[in-house]
Amino acid sequence: MRVYYGKAVYNNKEINAAIKVLKKKLIKQVTLITPNIPEAEILSGIKIKDKKDMISAAKELIKIGAKNVLIKGGHLKSRNVEDIFLNKFEFKVFISTRYNTKNTHGTGCTLSSAITTFFSCGKSIKRACELGIKYVNSAIFTNPKLGKGHGPINHLNSMKIKKRFI
């Protein structure tokens, strides 16, 4: 079986080898992993249908060596989005409003970058996750509604621009 990611084509053997390296070596070396639901399912081996399953998957990821886990709940069908943060000492559910928009392109990359920024400024990892989630939610809510497909979020949502550009 062949799997397509972007323009690259991989077979299951290559994917399984990459997942093994990720689980055996890389996860143990980072401060935080931020998988979405499909990624968390692959890494944990747990089918995720609800918040309880997300917690189980996060616990499994801690068992295999993750220091901190933030499973993003945007793929679940629910009124609100619930993101699960877990480490060996702390547990937190971040609840956010789900906005009815297709303009969510880049949210995962933006979230991990925002968390990294807040963490590098001295915030605790849990607080950095909370602030990153708030930033991304504001960026989704204020998205510029560009294009006809899955458009971008508003990365400038926290800036006030006094000059008007025409």
Can 108 be counted among the known catalytic residues?
Answer: yes
Q: Is the pLDDT of residue 5 over 50?
A: no
What's the pLDDT score for residue 161?
A: 66
- In angstroms, the CA 70 to CA 30 distance is 13
| pLDDT (average), residues 65-76 | 95
| pLDDT (average), residues 63-85 | 95
68: nearest Cα among 30, 100, 97, 37? 30
CB contact at 8 A, 150 and 137: no
Can 109 be counted among the known catalytic residues?
Answer: yes
Residue 158, classed as helix, strand or coil, is coil
Can 107 be counted among the known catalytic residues?
Answer: yes
Token pair 């980072």 is found at 30
- Tell me what percent of the residues of the chain surpass a pLDDT of 70: 90
DSSP 96-117: EEPP--S--BTHHHHHHHHHHH
Q: Of 51, 59, 106, 134, which one is the catalytic site residue?
A: 106
Can 151 be counted among the known catalytic residues?
Answer: no
* 76-117 pLDDT, tens digit each: 988 999 999 999 999 999 999 999 888 888 899 999 999 999
Can 106 be counted among the known catalytic residues?
Answer: yes
What's the pLDDT score for residue 163?
A: 66
Please report how the helices 107-120 and 125-141 are oriented relative to each other, as an axis angle in degrees rounded to 10.
Answer: 140
Q: Of 28, 88, 97, 109, which one is the catalytic site residue?
A: 109
Q: How confident is the model at residue 7 (pLDDT cuts 50, 70, 90)?
A: very low
Please report how the helices 51-63 and 37-44 are oriented relative to each other, as an axis angle in degrees rounded to 10.
Answer: 50
Q: Of 59, 108, 116, 142, which one is the catalytic site residue?
A: 108
Can 72 be counted among the known catalytic residues?
Answer: yes
- Tell me the domain boundaries of the chain: 31-141
- In angstroms, the CA 70 to CA 124 distance is 14
Q: Of 23, 73, 74, 107, which one is the catalytic site residue?
A: 107
61's tokens:
């990821």
Just give the CATH number of 31-141.
Answer: 3.40.1190.20
Low-confidence winner among 16-25, 61-70, 126-135, 139-148 (lowest mean pLDDT): 139-148
pTM of the model: 0.86
